[in-house]
Amino acid sequence: MRKSCRGFLDTPVPDPIITSVLEDAQLAPSNCNTQPWETHIVSGDKLKELAEALLRENEAERLSPDFTFDTNEYHGRYKERYFNLGKTMYEAFDVKRDDKEGRKEVSDQNYNFFNAPHIAIPFMPSFGDNVRVGGDIGMYGQTFLLSLTAHGLTGIPQTALGFFAGTIREILNVPDELKMLFGISFGYADPNAPGNSFKMERDPISHNVTFHQ
Ligand SMILES: Cc1cc2nc3c(=O)[nH]c(=O)nc-3n(C[C@H](O)[C@H](O)[C@H](O)COP(=O)(O)O)c2cc1C
């Protein structure tokens, strides 16, 4: 079963396995079969360089996102689920609700890729309001994640990385025309990491599904 991993072993994934995951992800459906993903895999020294830059930019609050993201826009049941994720995660890391510093430390782990040895970034071209291409990138990301699971690996999609799209493009030498929604840290799960000690529940399908006939 797929779930998001927030604590990886530093064991690298063999190249042929990464290739096999990428070949599975390549089969993702897309509007008009445009296959609008330009994927970059970052590992080794380059990944260290990226982590240093992201931690630095995050400290300086120098965000460079391509797309807006405001969790204050969540309302009703969506807001409840968002709050529940925060509560579950901070409890797992043993951080109290009012411990601002502790909460920041947990969220900063995004920029260390939760210790993952690799990240994948599916950059995307920009078309119109980008809703459809964003959907295609989501399909690609989920296919990639399910393939990781099928290969005994795990991963986590991270909007937090997209907050620094400009910095990431600069370091990876990616042209400005290619936009970024999220990155995916991936590798082997550390079974003892606190970030892997919980599983986010889902509502019963009756809350999300309407049948017609
Ligand atoms: C597009 C996308 C971006 C996400 N960004 C982050 C992130 O930046 N940091 C994080 O810890 N989790 C992130 N998540 C993981 C979600 O919190 C997670 O999918 C959700 O809580 C459900 O848990 P599960 O994936 O373990 O089933 C993201 C998920 C998606 C689909």
Tens-digit pLDDT profile for residues 97-110: 889 999 999 999 99
Q: Are 185 and 168 in contact (CB under 8 A)?
A: no
- For residue 112, the one-letter residue type is N
- pLDDT score, position 97: 83
pLDDT tens across 50-83, in order? 999 999 999 999 999 999 999 999 999 999 999 9
pLDDT beneath 70, residues of the chain: none
- Work out the number of other CB atoms within 10 angstroms of the CB of residue 160: 18
* Tokens, residue 119: 């990240």
Pocket test of ligand 1: the residue of 156, 161, 164, 200 to mutate, having most ligand atoms within 8 Å of its CB, is 156
Kindly state if the Cβ of 119 falls inside 6 Å of ligand 1: no
Tell me the domains of the chain and their CATH numbers: 15-70+112-198 (3.40.109.10)
Predicted pLDDT at 114: 98
* β-bridge mates for residue 118, sequence order: 43, 186
Distances (CA, A) of 7 to 35, 103, 114, 193, 208: 31, 16, 5, 5, 30
* CB contact at 8 A, 137 and 36: yes
Calpha distance 79→173 (Å, rounded): 37
Q: Is the CB of 185 under 6 A from ligand 1?
A: no
3-state secondary structure the chain: CCCECCCECCCCCCHHHHHHHHHHHCCCCCHHHCCCCEEEEEEHHHHHHHHHHHHHHHHCCCCCCCCCCCHHHCCHHHHHHHHHHHHHHHHHCCCCCCCHHHHHHHHHHHHHHHHCCEEEEEEECCCCCCHHHHHHHHHHHHHHHHHHHHCCCEEEEEHHHHCCHHHHHHHHCCCCCCECCCEEEEECECCCCHHHCCCCCCCCHHHCCCCCC
Residue nearest to atom 6 of ligand 1 (CA): 158
Can you name the residues that pair with 179 across neighbouring β-strands? 124
Distance 93 CA to ligand 1 centre (A): 16
